Structure 1
């Protein structure tokens, strides 16, 4: 008997799809340059707010959105690769999936963080460049424009390959649960909280994160 369980709460799903829109937008605006850089900054601030929100929601969100549910210790990863899946290994993020999430979050935080200290020496500069040395600005700019963006794109590519692998080889869709929130499981599992109160709390957290980012953006004025 299969069981339908709410795995991804609405705030986590909205975060995921907002990020999926922002990342291509950042890549496009960075390569177009010129007036598009204004949108590059706006999208970058959006991603920064989303990252701050996800860090908080990793401790306050639904059961399977919390970092404590990301079972990705070396032992769990090795067992997963050997096919020795423990109970609940595929309910939320698998051990490999959890590692991928941490890697992508870390790469995105580093990317938007270095963007705050970057300067293209033409017309665009991050709001925090005035607060650090020229050496820090140069290092941040080099990472942000060269290594960082390719690291993010590579991790996004791996994410898409993983979705395809699960769809075609394991006959599991990872997209549908991230759209509707529910997952069909062979055995019962604790659902994530996803009620009006938790959603209101998420909205308050996002508002606070957006306020922090707005304050940061004004430091370069």
Structure 2
């Protein structure tokens, strides 16, 4: 079967993927070492990216749009049923199971970043929105902020394990396309529509502006 190079991921998706991975590590390290100003900054950057990614999921490139990669749970289960079948990669973007993993990670990260805005450790660090809720609510969200990080670690571990499994069992490299943006797909595969650079810049500025405004409320 002849294979051709097809551009499937835009720069915003690729940069965001690796930036998010680094920021999750930075958030953990800064919390563990008591560098809470850095922890807050990392959290604001994560939230800015998440807002951007939500908007990009509706307005961005074809492979980034939720409607393109979110399929039924049955389709995801059907895809997992072929997990150990060695076959060429035919997916233009996320596969049916991968789409649900993206949604799960975004949801948990939003819960993590959102709860952090209301968190209060009663010592040094207080989220900018902690004063807008009761002490009981802030305490609950502070606790949730800690719990959700463990869930993030579990999902990230599962994600890495599946990527390795694809490489070993299916001989499909999912990492290189997230670096280069291109996949080698069967001849005749139609390249997805990629959104213009100006739209990404506009949404990135809007997302960063919203989070900056939230940070000033405390």
TM value normalised by structure 2: 0.93
1:62-91 CA distances to partner (integer Å, 9 max, x unpaired)? 111111111431221232133399xx9732
For 1:15, the equivalent position in structure 2 comes to 16
Residue correspondence of structure 1 range 27-176 to structure 2 within 5 A: 27-33=28-34, 36-83=35-82, 90-145=91-146, 147-176=147-176
Greater mean alpha carbon deviation, residues 5-14 or residues 44-53: 5-14
2:201 maps to what in 1?
203
Report the aligned-residue RMSD.
Answer: 1.7
Aligned position for 1:3: 4
Please say if 1:186 is aligned against 2:170: no
Check if 1:26 corresponds to 2:27: yes
Instruction: Report how many aligned residue pairs link the two structures.
Output: 213
Q: Retained in 1: the 8 A contact 2:59–2:65? A: yes
Give the TM-score, by structure 1 length. 0.91
Residue 167 of structure 1, CA deviation: 1.2
Say if 1:167 and 1:173, in contact at 8 Å, map to a contact too: yes
Q: How far, CA to CA, are the matches of 1:54 and 1:154 in structure 2?
A: 21
Q: CA–CA distance in 2 between the matches of 1:178 and 1:199?
A: 18
Give the gaps of 5 or more residues in structure 1.
none
Gaps of 5+ in 2: none
Contact 1:177 1:183 in 2 (8 A): yes
